[in-house]
Structure 1
């Protein structure tokens, strides 16, 4: 997946980026109710600032994180070569995410007049947040990898369908190359057999043959034609065959009017 394709995919599926914010909202409710149950007096607004700080940080880092995963995929025969990149990536992600939490909360506390925000001992905080950030990183890696695999599978299926269509067209073309000389040979034999007996009938056969050849040229560049057009060609072919076999050959069409416009592959 190229960067351009990734950007297009993000535009189509941008709503997935709201999941961290939805998760943050759920955690706000959980943390607040947990505090109430434990006798905490921390206001809901401050709980929301703490939780949404992490959610917004995840959203901001999501695009570069996905770009990293696409650039260094974790599936395939040589995926192990990309593990060092992801080892460094998760460390950088955790550092930036924790730093954003501190900056976001500190800024909101200052703007709201709540005083100085104390995030504790930062080196310890970085270590404490790392397991959670690692879990989030793994979830994103798994999700992106599954999407890539699904997309690759879909592309292979589309390619397989195209190959099958090309194969069917090749088989039809081969059948047409076999039928055309055979039919022309029989038609010329028919003209040869009746031209000394009935000149008018021979002339009719030649006109029908000319009509057939004209239709064949018209259809040569098309893979499908309307059923009505193909039946018209069959009628012309039948006229040639009836001149040869006489009353021994009778052809009758039993076709519903509603299907005459349906596309069918040309026989000749």
Structure 2
């Protein structure tokens, strides 16, 4: 910020601008009289630097004290007019004294004339006003940047809360049925009970280890789906089958974590679970131009006229909201019923992990 405490680069640029203004003032002195360039620069450049620092700090803190949105316009104009007149008058007086001091030290240094003093006073008022305008613009830019940063932080917090809500929506019946199956297998087949316990632990570890603020590769998401289906297959046995077809390069594409989990859970609960002979859950993914296209498909009961139940509707709405929050209108999700199949199609922009050099 001009005139405010900042980094060295900004300060150097600010002082360089005022040194240039001092050089222009020296040029005016040369053009107005017989003053040599050396004496004029020795007089004008230090004087401009001093005024730049003084007016810069003064106008900066006045801009902070009198924000345009919080004060009447007449009050702001009155304060800055008085400040500009006082600062310029002091600068002109200091210039006269500095000129008198230099006359005894530098050959050819003329006395300050009234026309030049009037010019210097007017220039000081204008420069003070320009400094105030620059500070107001800088403060507005800083405010807008702070607002954008807070909006981004709120968006990330909302996404994290949304992922936590999604985790709480994992069907409680899935956990209850898994624990009941483990309990039943303990006395019948301890080996399978132990295997199911390890599979449930692996699923919970994978799901709870996902960070809401980063995207995961499709391969990681598919691994989570496999862990979920491995647990369900202990209950459904051969009635539940899984097929996947991941195209070249699609597995490395990024997507929000646990995006496919509610779709696969719906497929098992509302599709496979309603069929006596079970069915197949299929996941296919491919890169098509700038889009990653994912299809989640499952066999459904032909006699069931409703394509989705209440829980299925919540899961699909959750997926749509997460895509909208992450990609705005660049992503889409559509679902439809085709005879004995229910299909969900997702399209989202292709993103991959950046390659890091070791």
Q: 1:106 to 1:260 in 2, by over 3 A?
A: same
Give the structure 2 partner of residue 77 of structure 1.
Answer: 70
The worse-fitting range, judged by mean Cα deviation, of 72-81 and 227-236 is 227-236
Give the structure 2 partner of residue 246 of structure 1.
Answer: 238
Greater helix content? 1
Confirm or deny: 8 A CA contact 2:4 2:57 kept in the other structure. Answer: no
Higher relative contact order (CA 8 A, sep 6+): 1
- 85, 91, 97: which is aligned to 1:103? 97
- 54, 59, 62: which is aligned to 2:52? 59
5 Å matches for 1:124-135?
Answer: 129-135=120-126
Q: 1:134 to 1:109 in 2, by over 3 A?
A: same
| RMSD, matched Cα | 4.0
Greater strand content? 2
- 73, 87, 93: which is aligned to 1:93? 87
Q: 1:248 to 1:148 in 2, by over 3 A?
A: same
Runs of 5+ unmatched residues, structure 1? none
Confirm or deny: 8 A CA contact 1:66 1:144 kept in the other structure. Answer: yes
5 Å matches for 1:11-160?
Answer: 11-14=8-11, 15-29=13-27, 32=30, 34=31, 42-52=35-45, 54-80=47-73, 81-114=75-108, 117-120=110-113, 129-160=120-151
What's the offset of the Cα at 1:41? 5.0
| TM-score (structure 2 length as normaliser) | 0.57
Q: Deviations over 1:9-66 (max 9, x none)?
A: 264510222212112324545664x56xxxx654322443454354234234234323
SS in 1 for 2:129: helix
SS in 2 for 1:13: helix
Give the structure 2 partner of residue 162 of structure 1.
Answer: 153
SS in 2 for 1:68: helix
Q: 1:30 to 1:131 in 2, by over 3 A?
A: closer
Q: How many residues align?
A: 255
SS in 2 for 1:207: helix
Confirm or deny: 8 A CA contact 2:84 2:125 kept in the other structure. Answer: yes
What's the offset of the Cα at 1:168? 1.1
What's the offset of the Cα at 1:112? 1.6
| TM-score (structure 1 length as normaliser) | 0.73
Confirm or deny: 8 A CA contact 2:56 2:131 kept in the other structure. Answer: no
Runs of 5+ unmatched residues, structure 2? 262-358
User: In structure 2, how many angstroms separate the alpha carbons of the residues matched to 1:246 and 1:53?
Assistant: 89
- 1, 4, 7: which is aligned to 1:6? 4
Give the structure 1 partner of residue 353 of structure 2.
Answer: none
User: In structure 2, how many angstroms separate the alpha carbons of the residues matched to 1:79 and 1:245?
Assistant: 76
